[in-house]
Amino acid sequence: MSMDVRAIPGGPADASRPPRPLVEFWYHFRRNKGAVAGLAVILIIATVAVLAPWIAPHDPLVQNRAAILQPPVWHDGGSWSYVLGTDDIGRDILSRVIHGARLSMLVGLIVVTLSLAVGLTLGMVSGFFGGVVDVAIMRLIDIMLAMPSLLLAVVVAAILGPGLFNAMLSVAIVVVPHYARLIRAAVLAEVSKDYVIASRVAGAGPLRLMLVTILPNCMAPLIVQATLGFSTAILDAAALGFLGLGAQPPTPEWGTMLASSLQFLQRAPWVVTWPGVAILVTVLAFNLLGDGLRDALDPKLKR
């Protein structure tokens, strides 16, 4: 015997039929110019990432010995063939940055998915069951949070061994506590509300209560956190790459590109400039979007 939760006022909104919440959300979101700009930039980067093999003018790995450390087109000695110049072994920087977008978006996607899945489970279980389970999970999370997150990521990456996938894994592990805490708080806020009790009384099992009844009502902070999680993931993975613990050369990962160009800082600043700009712009776009989503989704901040 299970009742339709949608019939309960305050229960999860049916997104398919009346589009009101979505319309309202868009109304609030649109007013935040920064967030809209962030979204636009993300869409552009995502498109570039998907189309990278077709729009990149060169193969990111092909070295052209005839064009080593060529400056960008607007400098003396630059050419339209290498718009942003070339690196120390004659690879096209623009193409590498474009392919780097692929990796960074992938890193964001995988890290957020992994950490969200684990954090969601931990937080849900912790908030829903409480008691010893809750205490145990929360202790574990406290312990992880006592470590500076980059340090923990560095250590985990060091132990797992360098590589892009291991870097993603370590970044994902490091951010799990944030999701778990957030979900737990949201679940605790919802679990004692009348609609949950009604559903429980109606005979819904724990799994249904957690996933169908409660979860949709915790979505707002989750969406915001996931968006901001993209920026953290991209930033941390790039930092690991920079320290030599992430993607390994010649992979065109932005952080790795920076690390391998350090020694040309004086002679060829453009080698250093563009991967960094790419990281900054991408991370900034996700942060702008996350801020905008928070303002649009969080009724407490609506004024």
Partner 1 sequence: MPPPPRCGAAAIRLPFPIPYPPMLRFLLTRAGLVVPTFLGITVLAFFLIRLVPGDPIEVRVGERGIAPERLAELRHAMGLDQPLWKQYADYLGNVLTGDFGVSLVTRNAVIDEFLSLFPATIELAAAAILFAVVVGLPAGVLAAVRRGSVVDHTVMGLSLTGYSMPIFWWGLLLILLFSVNLGWTPVSGRLDLLYYVEPETGFMLIDTLLAGDTDAFRSALRHLVLPAVVLGTIPLAVIARMTRSAMLEVLGEDYIRTARAKGLREKRVIGLHALRNALIPVVTVIGLQAGTLLGGAILTETIFSWPGIGKWLVESINRRDYPALQGGILLIATTVIAVNLLVDLLYGVLNPRIRHAR
Residues that bind partner 1 (CB under 8 A): 34, 139-140, 142-152, 154-156, 158-159, 161, 231, 235, 238-239, 242-245, 255, 258, 262, 265-266, 269, 272-273, 275-276, 279-280, 283-284, 286-288, 291
Helix (H) / strand (E) containing 179? helix 164-191
Amino acid residing at 47: T
Taking the least distance from each CB to partner 1, the nearer of 51 and 280 is 280
Helix (H) / strand (E) containing 279? helix 269-297
Q: How far is the CB of 203 from partner 1 (least distance, A)?
A: 38
| Direct distance between the N- and C-terminal alpha carbons of the chain, in angstroms, rounded to an integer | 42
Q: How far is the CB of 64 from partner 1 (least distance, A)?
A: 25
Burial-class residue 102 by CB neighbours within 10 Å (0-12, 13-18, 19+). buried
Taking the least distance from each CB to partner 1, the nearer of 13 and 160 is 160
Taking the least distance from each CB to partner 1, the nearer of 160 and 219 is 160
φ and ψ at residue 68, rounded to 5 degrees: -90, 130
Name the residue among 253, 231, 294, 277 with its Cα closest to residue 42: 231
Taking the least distance from each CB to partner 1, the nearer of 112 and 204 is 112
In order of 73, 93, 108, the CA distances from 265 in angstroms are 18, 15, 28
CB 272 within 8 A of CB 181: no
Taking the least distance from each CB to partner 1, the nearer of 146 and 201 is 146
Burial-class residue 172 by CB neighbours within 10 Å (0-12, 13-18, 19+). buried
With both helix axes pointing from N to C terminus, report the angle between 164-191 and 131-145 in degrees, rounded to the nearest 10: 140
Q: How far is the CB of 249 from partner 1 (least distance, A)?
A: 15
Name the residue among 186, 156, 49, 25 with its Cα closest to residue 108: 49
Q: How far is the CB of 58 from partner 1 (least distance, A)?
A: 23
Taking the least distance from each CB to partner 1, the nearer of 196 and 245 is 245
Taking the least distance from each CB to partner 1, the nearer of 11 and 229 is 229
Which pair of structure tokens corresponds to residue 31?
């007013």
Q: How far is the CB of 199 from partner 1 (least distance, A)?
A: 34
In 210-263, where does DSSP find H-type helix? Answer: 219-242, 254-260
Amino acid residing at 175: V
Taking the least distance from each CB to partner 1, the nearer of 14 and 142 is 142
Name the residue among 232, 248, 256 with its Cα closest to residue 171: 232
Q: How far is the CB of 288 from partner 1 (least distance, A)?
A: 7
Q: How far is the CB of 102 from partner 1 (least distance, A)?
A: 18
Q: How far is the CB of 269 from partner 1 (least distance, A)?
A: 6
- For the chain, the 3-state helix, strand and coil shares in percent, each to the nearest 5, are 70, 0, 25
